[in-house]
Structure 1
């Protein structure tokens, strides 16, 4: 599920794997392997992606379909 979300959000933002890999300071091939689910993505990398896209880790992990981060009101 995670690999599908990170691919979909990248494509929704009209970005290439190379652009995201550069932002993450990793090789494009490594990022491609994340998107294919061939290797696990670290929590640190997931946090960077969530911040970059302005979304939550829960969204990237497939725990919610809400793209925007939670607000204090959402947590009540």
Structure 2
């Protein structure tokens, strides 16, 4: 299964999202989004939830614990 940074990279590529749009939607800097993608930093629980909501995926999928993106 993928890890969080790999999943973020995948979601960016498949959803055609910009770092600017995502950073504004989840209220973190573009630099912080880049840190998440490269694995240099990990998001807070609040930010994880916001990211999952934005991409409309489960938290388990976002962090690589599941390969099923659907929420239950």
Question: What TM-score, normalized by structure 2, do the two folds share?
Answer: 0.88
* Structure 2, gaps ≥5 residues long: none
CA distance in 2, matches of 1:18, 1:65: 26
Which protein shows a greater Rg?
Answer: 1
State the aligned residue count: 70
Q: Which consecutive aligned stretches of 4+ in structure 1 deviate over 3 angstroms post-superposition?
A: none
1:9 aligns with 2:11: yes
Bigger RCO of structures 1 and 2 (CA < 8 A, at least 6 apart): 2
The offset of 1:10, in angstroms, is: 2.1
2:20 pairs with one of 18, 21, 42: 18
Higher relative helix content:
2
Aligned partner of residue 28 in structure 2, secondary structure: coil
